[in-house]
Structure formats: C-alpha cells, structure tokens
Amino acid sequence: MDTESMGLLIAMADDPDAGVRVMALHALACDRCRGDTCAPGAIWSSGLASAG
C-alpha cells in the first residue's frame, strides 16, 4: 500500500456507507492487505474502528 492509497482509505473510513467504512478499515488493519506498511494509529484512536 502506498501513501496515496492510505490517504484514500482513511478518507473512506468516514464514508456514510457502512460497507465502505468496513472495507476501508479492513484494508488499513489487515496485515495481508497492507503488506509491510503499518496501519495509521490515528484511525483507531479516532473511534472510527467501532463505527458501523
């Protein structure tokens, strides 16, 4: 995952569609989906991880 993709996924984590949020958060958190990039801590501390 590159920097541009990560920025787009973070923006998608605030989408009004719950399905989009779930997929974005999965892509940010899943080790297999992220590759060797660390998930941004801000997304988890903001409470978006429990949105849905």
Give the tokens for residue 2. Answer: 């590159």
In percent, the amount of the chain with pLDDT more than 90 equals: 23
Residue 7 Cα to chain centre, angstroms: 9
Residues 45/12, Cβ–Cβ less than 8 Å? no
* Integer Cα distance of 28 and 13 in angstroms: 9
Residues 13/43, Cβ–Cβ less than 8 Å? yes
pLDDT for the residue numbered 17: 94
Look up the pTM and report it. Answer: 0.58
Residue 42 — very low, low, confident or very high, per pLDDT cuts 50/70/90?
very low
